[in-house]
Amino acid sequence: MYRSGPWRFAVLYLALICPASAQVVWDMPNIVNPPVKFDHSAAPTRSDVWPRLDPGATICKTQADLLRLAEFRRGVQGERPNCQFIHSPTAVSIVRRAGPGQTEVSLTNQDGLDGWTDAYLPDRPLPPGGKGIQIK
């Protein structure tokens, strides 16, 4: 009978603690901030032009410049390639492909400016949201 005494106090203590923690009020002003509402109307929309070169892609004047750019990125010393970065989404038309990382493109709305790029340009546009294509 003596051993059951401390357990009674522990059970009584837990019984008194649980209702006290349930009485917390969370809707007091200045305690919980309301969620911030974002204005999505000012967000820039993504260009739906396909095919396109996205910002960060590189376009080179010749195929030899594209090969020199690949060597330059690997750290091989040599002549600098005649290439430039794309700063905004730019619509292109694919002229021809010369391997997996070499595509000759012509920039649309640029008066026939053409060059070579190593950007990934699949034949079909990617699905919206950047989700991959499921093959069954």
Give one DSSP letter per residue of 38-95, joined into a string: P-GGGSPPPP--SSEE-TT-EEESSHHHHHHHHHHHHT--SPPP-EEE--S-EEEEEE
Q: What is the pTM of this model?
A: 0.59
Per-residue pLDDT tens digits for 54-106: 999 999 999 999 999 999 999 999 999 999 999 988 889 999 999 888 999 99
More confident residue, 100 or 12: 100
Give the Cα separation of 7 and 13 in Å (integer): 10
The answer to whether 69 touches 59, Cβ cutoff 8 Å, is no
Q: What is the pLDDT of residue 109?
A: 81
Residues 59, 65: Cα–Cα separation, whole Å: 9
Which pLDDT belongs to residue 95? 92
All residues at 6 or more sequence positions from 51 whose CB lies less than 8 Å from its CB, including other chains: 91, 92, 93, 94, 105, 121, 125
Supply φ then ψ for residue 100, to 5 degrees.
-70, -30
- Residue-level length of the chain: 136
